[in-house]
């Protein structure tokens, strides 16, 4: 019975959140030159990747350091889609100071290299520490991919476009001996310069390059891992008619996403191709045919796993470069749902990023601004609302039985929701409180783990705290 009630509450809440979903962009930092990435190394700093060849550090307030963390502008080729395109910090960066960049070299080829931070100088990389890992020939100046990230398995994943020009004329995406049009996975912690992970799907096939994790991609410009569960969300930029998002479950490599045989779910060039059902269809595909939105180039983001905005929690945020329309992708009762979040009335949003708390940012390539994403439908969970309401939890950690102390600035009605880090609701209820101090006991029947306690009131204020159950 309890499970049924929880399900009813959860579904009802999901419907409510769907109706409320809307975001806004708040200016965080400005003055960058062609920013194409926002990354963090596990502390309060953000590292802004400039296509022109520099990585600039911003502090948590948005203030930029005048001296670049790294400047390799003398080593890159620029123009069209070339330049410094990706940055990934080693999982052990705090102790080893290693990081990895993806750029197009002076010949226009993709180069993946490792650098290290200068000893005793945490805001300055050693430019002379570069070690080449991969150099991949690029036949054209477009579709370089560039997004490079570590998975929870400790391996480095590299998104590679098909090499460019219209229709993948060399059929690189389907060529099993080419690294273009692929997702690659390598072990940068063993081997020289790297090793092939034992679990790579084509290790036992002489027909495939062993670095290949998946294939059949046109230009996975921006992709990401879900911090909960590890699924890979690949936003693959389309050709003439379709944009697509592919969701790959953790540890499940070997997919062929179908380009250039298929664009989205539609045939494109099926010469020497098999039937559509032999490929992995996109989780979501949208057309270019809408004359109002004028979609043309998907920009992949992240599944929101921050603590400030519960309406966004568990939803994959992305946008389209050509029109500035931001959307959320998520599932309801096993069905994919896509909701418009914002028409920014501006294009050129080219990349998302997240800080150590998994709050989201987006960078504008043209105006050089970095924006912080917030939920426009509610007040952020900052405990500084106008009525001076606050709340605390004691004890925390707890055994599941704990007390909520809530100081209200006015008489109000509270809605309380407690969910785990993948959005499963374990408590949902309402409490009437009076102005001043209030307290009530919650007996949470939940397994050991980390939870979020979300509280909103009838005055439009919202708050959150983390709870650990031991």
| Pair 336, 329: CB distance under 8 Å | yes
List CB contacts of 299: < 8 A, sequence separation 6 or more: 221, 222, 235, 318, 319, 320, 321, 349, 350, 351, 352
Omega within 30 of 0 (cis) for the link into 34:
no
Q: Which tokens hold the place of 424?
A: 């499963």
Length of the chain: 470
- What per-residue confidence (pLDDT) applies to 377? 74
> Per-residue confidence at 13, pLDDT binned at 50, 70, 90?
very low
Spans of all domains in the chain: 21-375, 390-469
Sign of the alpha-carbon torsion through 275, 279, 280, 284: negative
The arithmetic mean of pLDDT across residues 384-401, rounded, is 77
Segment 306-359, tens digit of pLDDT:
988 888 999 999 999 999 999 999 998 889 999 999 998 778 999 999 999 999
Poorest-pLDDT segment among 30-39, 166-175, 414-423: 414-423
Secondary structure (DSSP) of 86-122: EEEE-TTHHHH-EEEEEEEBTTS-EEEEEEEEETTEE
The arithmetic mean of pLDDT across residues 360-378, rounded, is 93
Q: In which element (H, E) is residue 6 found?
A: helix 2-20
- What per-residue confidence (pLDDT) applies to 376? 87
Q: Of the candidates 227, 235, 344, which has an alpha carbon nearest to the alpha carbon of residue 300?
A: 235
Segment 80-101, tens digit of pLDDT:
899 999 999 999 999 999 999 9
- What per-residue confidence (pLDDT) applies to 438? 92
Q: Torsions phi, psi of 10, nearest 5?
A: -65, -45
Segment 125-162, tens digit of pLDDT:
999 999 999 999 999 999 999 999 999 999 999 999 99
The conformation of residue 312, written as its DSSP 8-state character, comes to G
Four-way CATH pick for 21-375: 2.70.170.10, 1.10.150.170, 2.130.10.10, 2.120.10.30: 2.120.10.30
Instruction: Give 241-269 as a 3 state SS string.
Output: CEEEEEEECCCCCCCECCCCCEECCEECC
Q: Of the candidates 182, 175, 108, which has an alpha carbon nearest to the alpha carbon of residue 145?
A: 182
What is the bridge-based pairing of β-strands 370-375 and 360-364? Answer: antiparallel
* pLDDT above 70: residue 106: yes
- What per-residue confidence (pLDDT) applies to 290? 66
Q: Of the candidates 286, 274, 279, which has an alpha carbon nearest to the alpha carbon of residue 245?
A: 286
Residues in a beta bridge with 118:
121
**CA 352 to CA 37: how far, in whole Å?**
7
Q: Of the candidates 126, 122, 352, 130, which has an alpha carbon nearest to the alpha carbon of residue 233?
A: 352
> Per-residue confidence at 409, pLDDT binned at 50, 70, 90?
confident
**CA 58 to CA 47: how far, in whole Å?**
6
- What per-residue confidence (pLDDT) applies to 383? 40
Segment 47-68, tens digit of pLDDT:
999 999 999 999 999 999 999 9
> Per-residue confidence at 421, pLDDT binned at 50, 70, 90?
low
* pLDDT above 90: residue 291: no
Please determine whether the domains at 21-375 and 390-469 fall in the same fold group of CATH: no
- What per-residue confidence (pLDDT) applies to 347? 82
Q: 9: helix, coil or strand?
A: helix
Poorest-pLDDT segment among 35-39, 108-112, 182-186, 411-415: 411-415
Would you say the pTM of this structure is higher than 0.85? no
What is the bridge-based pairing of β-strands 390-394 and 370-375? Answer: unpaired
**CA 426 to CA 447: how far, in whole Å?**
10
| Pair 395, 469: CB distance under 8 Å | no
- What per-residue confidence (pLDDT) applies to 293? 65
The arithmetic mean of pLDDT across residues 30-44, rounded, is 97
CB count within 10 Å of CB 441 equals 8
Distance linking the first and last C-alpha atoms of the chain: 25
Q: Does domain 390-469 have CATH number 3.90.1150.10?
A: no
Residues in a beta bridge with 244:
236, 285
- What per-residue confidence (pLDDT) applies to 350? 97
The conformation of residue 449, written as its DSSP 8-state character, comes to E
């Amino acid at each position: 019975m309890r499970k049924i009630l929880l399900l009813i509450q959860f579904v009802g809440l999901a419907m409510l959140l769907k109706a409320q979903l809307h975001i806004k962009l708040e200016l965080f930092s400005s003055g960058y030159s062609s920013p194409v990435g926002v990354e963090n190394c596990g502390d309060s700093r953000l590292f802004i990747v400039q296509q022109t060849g520099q990585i600039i550090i911003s502090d948590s307030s948005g203030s930029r350091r005048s001296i670049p963390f790294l400047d390799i502008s003398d080593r890159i080729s620029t123009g069209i889609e070339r330049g410094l395109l990706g940055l990934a910090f080693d999982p052990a960066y705090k102790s080893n100071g290693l990081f990895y960049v993806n750029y197009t070299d002076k010949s226009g080829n993709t180069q993946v290299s490792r650098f290290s931070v200068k000893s005793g100088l945490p805001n300055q990389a050693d430019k002379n520490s570069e070690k080449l890992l991969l150099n991949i020939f690029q036949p054209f100046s477009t579709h370089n991919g560039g997004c490079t990230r570590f998975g929870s398995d400790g391996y480095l994943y590299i998104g590679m476009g098909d090499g460019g020009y219209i229709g993948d004329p060399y059929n690189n995406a389907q060529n099993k001996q080419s690294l273009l049009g692929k997702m690659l996975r390598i072990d940068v912690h063993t081997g020289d310069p790297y090793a092939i992970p034992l679990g790579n799907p084509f290790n036992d096939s002489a027909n495939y390059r062993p670095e290949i994790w998946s294939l059949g991609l046109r230009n996975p410009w921006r992709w990401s891992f879900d911090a909960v569960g590890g699924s890979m969300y690949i936003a693959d930029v389309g050709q003439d008619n379709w944009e697509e998002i592919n969701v790959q479950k953790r540890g499940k490599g070997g997919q062929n996403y179908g380009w250039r045989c298929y664009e989205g779910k539609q045939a494109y060039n099926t010469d020497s191709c098999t039937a559509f059902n032999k490929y992995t269809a996109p989780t979501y595909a949208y057309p270019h045919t809408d004359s109002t939105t004028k979609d043309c180039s998907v920009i992949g983001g992240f599944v929101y796993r921050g603590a400030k905005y519960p309406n966004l929690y568990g939803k994959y945020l992305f946008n389209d470069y050509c029109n500035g329309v931001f959307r959320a992708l998520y599932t309801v009762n096993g069905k994919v749902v896509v909701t418009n979040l914002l028409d920014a009335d501006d294009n050129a949003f080219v990349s998302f990023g997240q800080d150590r708390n998994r709050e989201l940012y987006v960078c504008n390539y043209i105006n050089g601004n970095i924006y912080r994403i917030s939920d426009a439908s509610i007040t952020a969970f900052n405990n500084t609302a106008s009525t001076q309401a606050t709340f605390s939890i004691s004890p925390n950690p707890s055994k599941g039985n704990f007390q909520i102390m809530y100081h209200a600035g006015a008489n109000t009605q509270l809605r309380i929701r407690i969910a785990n880090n993948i959005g499963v609701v374990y408590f949902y209820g309402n409490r009437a409180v009076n102005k001043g101090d209030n307290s009530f006991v919650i007996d949470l029947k939940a397994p050991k783990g980390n939870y979020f306690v979300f509280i909103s009131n009838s005055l439009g204020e919202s708050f959150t705290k983390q709870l650990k159950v031991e």
